[in-house]
């Protein structure tokens, strides 16, 4: 079903990204790259932190063929030179909006806080990298790596994309 659409916007509203169809999954990622990127983004004069109190970055995974930047300019921030991962940040206010990939990933990871209303969190992933500053809450299931449900949803969305659905 493609009829459903929502928007991700920057803090000041000058950037808007349309997301068509249903999202694939909603997770808080605790991996070391997301934590390192959050530290780098925190050095920008950003309006909001990108991590929760447990060092998790909340993402909404969405098919990359179903988003459009409607207005505004985004600037890529890479964790390191040559990285295939680009954190797309609003040029106007330094709000991180989504993560895009130069490799074969068929999705983008939209910062959950940029979508209103924010969808419910389904899981915490890559928790083996959790720094242990505070114990993880039991609000959703937590997985040391990636849960089978997430992998299954990614495979299903890739198959649907291949057949044009």
- Burial of residue 148 (number of CB atoms within 10 Å: 0-12, 13-18, 19+): exposed
Question: Does the pLDDT at position 47 exceed 90?
Answer: no
Q: What is the pLDDT of residues 8-30, one digit of tens each?
A: 999 999 999 999 999 999 999 99
Give me the percent of the chain exceeding a pLDDT of 90: 82
Range of the domain at 115: 5-162
**Domain holding 43: CATH number?**
3.90.1590.10
Question: Does the pLDDT at position 160 exceed 60?
Answer: yes
Six-digit token pair at 50?
């990108």
Reported as a pLDDT band with limits 50, 70 and 90, residue 67 is very high
Are 109 and 98 within 8 A, CB to CB? Answer: yes
pLDDT value for 48 = 81
pLDDT value for 106 = 95
Of 17, 161, 99, give the one whose Cα is nearest residue 6. Answer: 17
Question: Does the pLDDT at position 81 exceed 60?
Answer: yes
pTM value is: 0.93
48 CB contacts (<8 Å, ≥6 apart)?
A: 11, 95, 113
What is d(CA 98, CA 74) in angstroms, rounded to the nearest whole number? 10
How big is the CA angle at 135 (ends 130 and 139), to the nearest 5 degrees?
Answer: 100
Q: What is the pLDDT of residues 35-44, one digit of tens each?
A: 999 999 999 8
Domain count, the chain: 1
What SS3 class is residue 144?
A: coil
Question: Does the pLDDT at position 157 exceed 60?
Answer: yes
pLDDT value for 63 = 96
Rg, C-alpha atoms of the chain: 15
Phi, psi of 2, rounded to the nearest 5 degrees:
-100, -10
Give me the percent of the chain exceeding a pLDDT of 70: 98
Question: What mean pLDDT comes out for the span 40-62?
Answer: 90
Of 141, 87, 96, give the one whose Cα is nearest residue 115. Answer: 96
């Amino acid at each position: 079903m493609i009829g459903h659409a929502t928007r991700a916007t920057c803090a000041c509203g000058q950037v808007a990204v349309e997301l068509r169809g249903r999202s694939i999954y909603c997770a808080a990622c605790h991996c070391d790259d997301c934590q390192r990127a959050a530290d780098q983004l925190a050095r920008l004069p950003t309006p909001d932190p990108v991590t929760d109190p447990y060092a998790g970055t909340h993402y909404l995974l969405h098919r990359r063929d179903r988003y459009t930047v409607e207005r505004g300019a985004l600037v890529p921030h890479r964790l390191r030179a040559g990285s295939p991962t680009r954190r797309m940040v609003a040029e106007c206010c330094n709000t991180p909006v989504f993560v895009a990939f130069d490799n074969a990933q068929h999705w983008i990871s939209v910062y959950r806080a940029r979508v209103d209303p924010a969808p419910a969190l389904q899981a915490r992933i890559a928790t083996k990298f959790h720094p242990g500053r505070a114990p993880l809450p039991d609000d959703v299931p937590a997985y040391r790596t990636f849960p089978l449900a997430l992998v299954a949803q990614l495979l299903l969305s890739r198959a649907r994309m291949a057949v044009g659905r």
